[in-house]
């Protein structure tokens, strides 16, 4: 189980999660899950859409855990879709940055697009500090998250950061036009020191919104 850290997240992080859950579960699902997570104060009141620190990592983790508990065996697919929608919410909330990112990506070879967008995802996960890094080796790309924002108070027999895996997959699909395989090889909820994701690609090209 990951212990709480002295860390406050940008309000928009929890806002994107809540909007993604609402899109997945419908307008009645979000209030139900907020109450199950003990986050009644957010019912009918989304966090601010800005980068100022305003929410606790424990709040983020409790809402993710509420979804996991509610959906049981179906939680992996649900939380992966929610993670994908989190990335889309981020793009919608920052249209100017998304446009600049699109232009930058169009100038890069496909391989460099991947590492560029993965670093951008890592920076967003790390805000307002550090703790998330990106690497590359013969196996593929890596993202390592030592913040534990999604795993606070959660114990699991297996890696369970499915929202992060979905967010990474959607970002890389958007950036490079190829669906990646994102595998979490270690997880703080399962007792590891970091949540570590290995990203690889197959050969099939999928439709996406990204630069071509």
What DSSP string runs through 127-168? TTS--EEEEEETTEEEEEE-S-TTTBT---SS---HHHHHHH
Q: pTM for this structure?
A: 0.90
Residue 204 has pLDDT above 80, yes or no: no
Segment 63-83 mean pLDDT: 96
Between 5 and 177, residue with greater pLDDT: 177
- As a whole-number percent, the residues of the chain with pLDDT over 70 amount to 92
Q: For the domain 9-205, what is the CATH superfamily, name and number? A: H-NOX domain (3.90.1520.10)
What's the burial of 51, exposed, middle or buried (CB within 10 Å: 0-12/13-18/19+)? middle
Residue 205 has pLDDT above 50, yes or no: no
């Amino acid at each position: 189980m990951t212990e709480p850290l002295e860390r406050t997240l940008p309000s928009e992080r929890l806002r994107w999660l809540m909007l993604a859950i609402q899109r997945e579960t419908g307008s009645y699902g979000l209030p139900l899950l907020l109450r199950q997570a003990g986050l009644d104060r957010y019912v009918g009141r989304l966090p601010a859409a800005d980068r100022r620190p305003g929410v606790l990592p424990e709040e983020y983790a409790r809402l993710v855990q509420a979804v996991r508990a509610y959906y049981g065996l179906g939680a992996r697919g649900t939380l992966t879709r929610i993670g994908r929608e989190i990335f889309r919410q981020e793009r919608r909330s920052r249209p100017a940055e998304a446009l600049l990112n699109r232009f930058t990506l169009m100038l890069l070879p496909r391989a460099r697009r991947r590492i560029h967008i993965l670093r951008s995802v890592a920076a967003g996960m790390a805000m307002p500090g550090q703790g998330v890094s990106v690497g590359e080796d013969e196996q593929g790309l890596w993202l390592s998250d030592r913040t534990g924002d999604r795993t606070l108070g959660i114990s699991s027999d297996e890696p369970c950061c499915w929202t992060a895996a979905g967010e990474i997959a959607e970002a890389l699909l958007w950036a490079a036009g190829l669906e990646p395989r994102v595998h979490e090889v270690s997880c703080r909820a399962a007792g590891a020191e970091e949540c570590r994701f290995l990203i690889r690609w197959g050969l099939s090209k999928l439709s996406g919104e990204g630069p071509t």
